[in-house]
Structure 1
Amino acid sequence: MTDILHALYEGSKDPEDETQVITIADLRKSGPNLHDFMRFAKWEGQPVKTPVLQYVVQNGVFWVKLSDHERQRTFSTECNGILAGIKAIENHIVQGAISNMWRPWNIPGKNGSKGKKRS
């Protein structure tokens, strides 16, 4: 499976019909590449699971997280607010660094494994 985010940045092309594709003005302004990644529900004619952008406050630290459900991975950045997190993610996309910074999901039973039992 091709990396949709990488392909969008490297060879961005508009979909044939954008009437059904949502546009989020603030996200488009602050993170245009992230915006494109977030809004497409189809890639090369095939349906894909759309990513999730969320914020979390954990142990007094503010995080913005991008979850790529299609490839089962998450990228998190510690920041001072949502806009700062969006800009940080956009910066990693533009630099091409995000492809090495994803954290894969640990899913029990994936690839035939039983997963770890906790004691």
Structure 2
Amino acid sequence: MTDILTALFESGKEPDDESQLITIADLRKNGPNLHDFMRFSKWEGADVKTPVLQYVVQNGVFWVKLSDHERQRTFSTECTGILAGVKAIENHIVQGAISNMWRPWNIPGKNGSKGKKRS
């Protein structure tokens, strides 16, 4: 399957009807490519799980994370706030670098992995 985010950057297509898609003004202004990626609900005519954009404070560090549920991977960036994180992710998309920066999810039994043991 073609990388959805790379395909969006290289040759994105406008959906036939955007009236049902949510528009987030700040995200559209500061991260237009990320905004379009977040709005995907179909890919090549098939329904897909929409990506999740979230922030996390862990061990005193602020992170913005983009999770691609369809491809079971996450991209995280350490930043000073949500807007800085959005701009960092957008920058990686525009540079075409994000394709190599995703971290795959560690799912037990997937691709022969055992997953993490819980204590």
TM-score by length of 2: 0.94
Cα distance per residue 1:38-79 (max 9 Å; x no partner): 011011111001000000001110000000000000000000
**Cα distance in structure 2, aligned partners of 1:21 and 1:91:** 24
- How many residues were matched structurally? 119
Q: Given that residues 107 and 113 in structure 2 are in contact (C-alpha distance below 8 angstroms), is that contact kept between their aligned partners in structure 1?
A: no
Change (3 A) 1:112 1:16: same
Which position in structure 2 is the counterpart of 1:6? 6
Change (3 A) 1:83 1:111: same
Runs of 4+ in structure 1 deviating by more than 2 angstroms, as ranges, are 111-119
1:30 is the counterpart of 2:40: no
**Cα distance in structure 2, aligned partners of 1:116 and 1:54:** 23
Describe how 1:32-47 pairs up with structure 2 within 5 A: 32-47=32-47
Q: Can you give the 5+ residue segments of structure 2 that lack an aligned partner in the other structure?
A: none
TM-score by length of 1: 0.94
Describe how 1:20-99 pairs up with structure 2 within 5 A: 20-99=20-99
Deviation at 1:20, TM superposition (A): 1.4
**Cα distance in structure 2, aligned partners of 1:113 and 1:12:** 34
What secondary structure, in the 3-state scheme, does the structure 1 residue paired with 2:16 have? coil
Change (3 A) 1:35 1:112: same
- Over the aligned positions, Cα root-mean-square deviation in angstroms equals 1.4
Deviation at 1:115, TM superposition (A): 3.8
- Range with bigger deviation, 45-54 or 106-115: 106-115
